[in-house]
A and B are shown apart, each in its own frame.
Chain A
Amino acid sequence: MKNEEVDYVLTEAARAPYDLSPETLQHVAASIRLSFRPVRPLPPTWVMAGGLVLICAAVSLTGAARAGFFGFAKMDLQERLLVFPALILLTWVAASEYVHAMIPGSLRRISPGALLGFVSAALLAVFAFLFRDHQTDHFFSIGIVCLLTGFFHAIPAALLGWLLIRRGFAVNSVSAGLMAGVLGGLAGVGVLELHCPNFQAAHVLVWHTAVVPLSGAAGALVGWTLRFRASSSAGERANSK
């Protein structure tokens, strides 16, 4: 059997008439009539993505202002010109995808997992190109501090980002949580690049980059928990009826 024949059979079957009772349609119309009023559509993607980038920048600058701009002061011009534009570009990409995840029927250019992989790989490439000091001092003790500093700044960035686009509707809360986590993680990396004066390659490659997957995983976990709780409470309501 050829593809054209399969296509023909499917198309013919799909053309079969399908009746739906007028009562069902009337019931649906009546159910939405009570709360009928005009609504304001969401702003364009670039406006919301721009807002998210500004939130990440504000969180990074505030965090670094509190802790000190030691990393920025130690960087040379080439490092500054590569690290910060790369961070802004990746934040823009993550913000646009996060906005798409919050609008049903949006065209997705990249899956949430691929976004996490792309952002992590891009950061690794930039850091590996710039930081060539292969000495390692207090790898774990200093590294954990940087990881936690980045992660704790990722949380407010993700929460503020969610506040900005809370009018959206995530058809997949785990994906949306992952995107929010990646975005927050990039704000956390921003704080570390501005603050941390430790330019040892292993430290920057492992602990600074790890903020993104850690916060992405945390975001996905939050999304999964919310979905689980929503379906559990709905199930309890259905059982109590």
Chain B
Amino acid sequence: MGLRGRLTARTELREHAGRDFDCRKAFEPMHPDGTLEALMARYQQGDFSAATDLIERISPQLHRFFLSRSQSRTDADDLLQETWLRIHKVRHTYRPGEPALPWFYAIARHVRVDHYRKSVRTAVLERQLEAMSKGVEAVQEKSDSADGLNAMLAPLSESQREVIEMLKVAGMSLEEVARATSSSVGSVKQKVHRAYKKLRETMSATGFRKGQSGVYLEK
């Protein structure tokens, strides 16, 4: 990577750090007992209201995380359900004081990978036949609910997409993404840099431009 590339990467990362801070603020309520970490501690102590609070706050972003790579919304619902069962089973592995969001995402990621392996290994033919018959409805169902972010991230590889989703949708910092993906901060930075490079190329080619009101529009 040349000097210009390194400078660009640094600028990108500074941007992320600043924006991450803002995103996290949006998730954290005023009362300190309402942070994800405090709720997790209460969940471990057997407080059911803390568990329902966590379900309400974390589920939408986890569902979105699953929907980006699922056949349909029903699949994402199933994965969400499975993830919460797994979270409940291994809730003792959360360490009070540690960031909670990477812990949730690490388990969600495991469930998603596990689900993908199962679906590849078993009943591939049945799924293909089923998908052929339901294909049209499923695509319709997903396209109805999918947002612009999914379309924008489509040209990225699975790992790059995952990292960008965690940074932008979940509002995680680089270190938190590294924790969630069981990788190093350096590896996450590299994925972000490559993802941005690809997105710059794709968006320039497809023709995103800044409108008069400052909003970016497709040409």
Contacts and interface: CB of A to CB of B under 8 A. Distances in A.
Q: Do A and B come from one complex?
A: yes
A24 B152 contact: no
Interface stretch (B27-35, B76-84, B130-138): B76-84
Contact of A29 (B55, B77, B91, B95): B55
A104 B105 CA distance: 9
A103 B121 contact: no
Contacts of A5: 203, 208, 210, 216
A68 interface: no
Contact of A38 (B44, B88, B179, B182): B44
Contact of A37 (B46, B61, B114): B46
Contact of A31 (B84, B95, B169, B175): B84
Given A6-B203, A9-B208, A41-B92, 8 more contacts: A12-B216, A13-B147, A24-B59, A33-B48, A36-B51, A111-B183, A231-B121, A239-B122
Interface in B148-189: 148-149, 152, 164, 168-169, 175, 178-180, 182-184
A154 B151 CA distance: 50
Interface of A: 1-14, 16, 18-20, 24-25, 27-29, 31-33, 35-42, 44, 101-111, 167-169, 171-172, 175, 227, 230-232, 234-236, 238-239
B85 interface: yes
13 contacts: A9-B216, A10-B149, A13-B168, A25-B55, A39-B91, A168-B93, A169-B90, A171-B106, A171-B182, A231-B121, A234-B114, A238-B122, A239-B122
B19 A11 contact: yes
Contact of A32 (B8, B84, B208): B84
Q: Choose among A33, A37, A108 the residue with the greatest number of B CB atoms under 10 Å from its CB.
A: A108
The winner among B15, B91, B93, B199 for most chain A CB atoms within 10 A is B93
Contacts of A40: 92
A231 B48 contact: no
Contacts of B85: 31-32
Contacts of A106: 98, 179, 182
Given A13-B149, A105-B180, A31 B93 contact: no
Contacts of B164: 10
Given A3-B15, A36-B46, A232-B122, A111 B148 contact: no
Contacts of A2: 200
A106 B11 CA distance: 27
B12 A27 contact: no
Given A32-B51, A171-B106, A20 B60 contact: yes
A14 B168 contact: yes
A174 B81 CA distance: 25
B52 interface: yes
A119 B191 CA distance: 27
Contacts of B179: 105-108
Given A37-B46, A108-B184, A171-B109, A28 B80 contact: yes
A167 B94 CA distance: 11
Contacts of A8: 216
